[in-house]
A = this chain, B = another copy of it.
Amino acid sequence: MAVETDEQDLYVKRMRTLQKQMGHGGFDAALIMQPRDLFYYAGTAQPANLWIPVAGEPILFTRRAHALARGATWIRRTVEGNSYADLRRSLTEIGALPKGGAVLGVELDVVPAALVNSLARHFADVTLKNVSPLIVRQRFVKDPAEVARIREAVEAWEEGHRQVLSRLVPGRAEYEIAAAMEYGVRNAGGDGVVWFRRWDGCLPGGGIVSSGPNAWVVSGHAMTVTGVGMNQGLPWGASDRRVERGDLVVVDYGVTKGAYHADMARTYCVGKPSTKQQGLWDRLIELHHTVIERIRPGVTGEELYRIGAEAADKMGMTEYFMGVGADRGTYIGHSIGLEVDDWPVLGEGSRDPLVPGAVVTIEPKFMIPGLGAVMVEDDILVTEEGHEMVSTLGHELFYV
């Protein structure tokens, strides 16, 4: 085994926690197939099927790159096998095949239907049930090693930020600013991918770069300051619009390093901001701090969103807060980790209390048609006592 003992203890603890929750949830076993979840429990995203019984030891069925997977995982029992037929045969030989009527946990939210249908044919006598709710709730609480990786991703984001500052001049296209962001992040050791759990989630390299009139367009699936993208095949993110003197430019990017995300946003002004722009920014930062101050164990995402909405209301900014008109969102942030859209979204209906070890983003924005958008996003660790900023980049309206 390539892993050290304390790291192995961490993985054993993770697996025991899942097994305990599987017991409460009525699962007899789980088959983990999604690469992020595999990495979390097995220690590698090599192609594999991870079999976790509700009690006892797991088995990693390696699908390819077998020796690499064996060398990377802490799991002692590994079997080479790419197909569900192989899997069933091995479980039978080992005497670990679930009994008829057993409940098998599968990540039904992410595994394609055809694959689940094939699994169901090979295990016709068991019931398949979505195990992802247990997984994403467990992943909500980060251990110190995970927080350390998020901090490194924050540093990569900041290197991207420095590249943006060095390129932000009138005439530069949004996509050139995205290229600069990505160049900084990658040269800082970023992984060069953004992981979403939602099947249709996607963010191009460099993330959202949205300037001028693009900044009050709400496009795509899930975000609010979205940009309009390069073409209808990806109609969000940076476009070919060239920034002009006086523009507000939002850069929002979920950066991965060491497999963990930092998700941050800052707003830049092309040239010195006007009094109006600066005033808008100052109110945003006031609201941002009002929300962040309230982060502590026990507070819910819904409460944090409402604190933000009330602050916007007091400022007379309700109609510009978190979107425009019918496209306004009712959220203020989300959890981050192995996926940029880690569970949960912090917004209306989010009634699970924050707990120590959670890392969340707070991302308020004002979008004013005709003027532009301002947005800030930071990453915050929930601690026993309250919270700690993970991202510490300054809160000024940057300009060049």
Contact = CB atoms under 8 A, between A and B. Distances in A.
A233 B112 contact: no
Interface residues of A, number: 64
A246 interface: no
Interface string A140-175: 000000000000000000000000000000000001
A10 interface: no
A187 B182 contact: no
Contacts of A45: 232-235
Contact of A113 (B44, B72, B112): B112
B114 A112 contact: no
A46 interface: yes
A117 B108 contact: yes
Contacts of A217: 68
A217 B238 CA distance: 36
A175 B231 CA distance: 28
A235 B72 contact: yes
Contacts of A47: 200, 220-221
A258 B233 contact: yes
Interface in A197-211: 199-200, 202, 204-206
Interface string A176-210: 10110011001101011100000110101110000
A258 B231 contact: yes
A295 to B, nearest CB: 27
A299 to B, nearest CB: 28
A145 to B, nearest CB: 12
B192 A187 contact: no
Nearest to A163: B183
B219 A65 contact: yes
A234 B193 contact: yes
A3 to B, nearest CB: 9
A390 to B, nearest CB: 19
A237 interface: yes
B39 A233 contact: yes
Contact of A175 (B109, B179, B189, B338): B189
A234 B112 contact: no
Interface string A85-122: 00000000000000000000010111111111100000
A230 interface: yes
A331 to B, nearest CB: 14
A265 interface: no
Contact of A182 (B130, B183, B189, B338): B183
A218 interface: yes
A174 to B, nearest CB: 11
A125 interface: no
A44 B235 contact: yes
A240 B238 CA distance: 28
Given A130-B114, A191-B231, A235-B44, A178 B182 contact: no
Contact of A202 (B175, B193, B219): B193
A350 B199 CA distance: 29
7 A-B pairs with the lowest CB-CB distances in the bound complex, closest first: A233-B259, A192-B204, A179-B186, A113-B116, A192-B205, A108-B114, A205-B205
25 contacts: A39-B232, A44-B232, A44-B235, A45-B233, A63-B221, A64-B218, A65-B219, A68-B235, A106-B113, A108-B112, A108-B113, A108-B114, A110-B199, A113-B115, A114-B130, A115-B199, A175-B186, A182-B183, A182-B192, A189-B240, A191-B231, A191-B234, A192-B204, A233-B258, A234-B259
